[in-house]
Amino acid sequence: MTMQEKTVFITGASSGIGKATARLLVKSGHKVALTARSKDKLEALVNELGNENAFAVAADATNFDELKNAVDKTIEHYGKLDAAFANAGKGVSKAGTEEGDPDEWAQMIDININALLWTAKLTLPHLRKSQGHFLLTSSAAGRTSIKGSIYGATKWFAYGFGRNLAEEMKEWKGRCTTICPGMVNTPFFDEDKEDKLQPDDVAEAVLYAINANPRNSVREVYLMPAY
């Protein structure tokens, strides 16, 4: 099957998994629309990837109006949307329910849950037109029980939402993929360890799902370090 060029909208695109995914998609012949809060980082990435391949709009994914503007500008620029990758997310500095910080919880829920919902709501009307693809970053932590992990609970939501959304999108031949990585070597984690996955590993999973034959809905990709 000859690969068809696709336009992909990515949240959390200025660093880590989002940045690696943008690079790999462009290298593989796709176009990307990038959004994150850091305008400077986005502009630098667009310059690296080339204006003909990448377009960016700075936005806070937890702000519905800002995210809507980013999606609208993407449609104005490219004229269509084939895939969206809801990747923006964060953790907390203190684990545990008693020891946790409610303000951190609120911020994390905003980005890990609300921003995911906003991204789906805003992109689905465009994906419906292209019989497109929605992808999201959950976590290995969203597939297992971890003592006192509020972060893991938010990723359980993402995991369940992705499975439900896949059934919803199936009605119009859309596809939904939930990406579930273990620990990834990104600024998300304080420690830099060699035994983590790399952002490029997750980017490869995204590309695999997007490039699959349209008859093949890759519902989930679960990644763990091999050693």
For the cut 50, the answer to whether the pLDDT of residue 1 exceeds it is: no
pLDDT of residue 196: 86
Lowest mean pLDDT among 69-78, 95-104, 132-141, 211-220: 95-104
Average pLDDT, the chain: 94
pLDDT of residue 187: 61
pLDDT of residue 2: 44
**Residues 54, 48: Cα–Cα separation, whole Å:** 9
| Contact partners, residue 86, CB within 8 Å, separation at least 6 | 11, 115, 116, 119, 120, 134, 135, 136, 137
151 as an active site residue: the answer is yes
Whether residue 146 contacts residue 191, with contact meaning beta carbons closer than 8 Å, is answered with no
Q: Collapsing DSSP states into helix, strand and coil, what is residue 82?
A: coil
For the cut 80, the answer to whether the pLDDT of residue 194 exceeds it is: no
pLDDT of residue 46: 98
Domain coordinates of the chain in residue numbers?
7-223
Region 7-223: CATH code: 3.40.50.720
For the cut 60, the answer to whether the pLDDT of residue 10 exceeds it is: yes
pLDDT of residue 155: 97
Which two structure tokens, joined as six digits, stand for 102?
A: 């409610």
For the cut 60, the answer to whether the pLDDT of residue 113 exceeds it is: yes
Choosing from 78, 151, 159, 208, which is the catalytic residue?
A: 151
For the cut 70, the answer to whether the pLDDT of residue 8 exceeds it is: yes
For the cut 90, the answer to whether the pLDDT of residue 106 exceeds it is: yes
pLDDT of residue 25: 98
- The mean pLDDT value for 194-215 works out to 93
pLDDT of residue 186: 72
- Structure confidence at residue 96 as a pLDDT band (50, 70, 90): confident
pLDDT of residue 95: 85
- The mean pLDDT value for 45-65 works out to 97
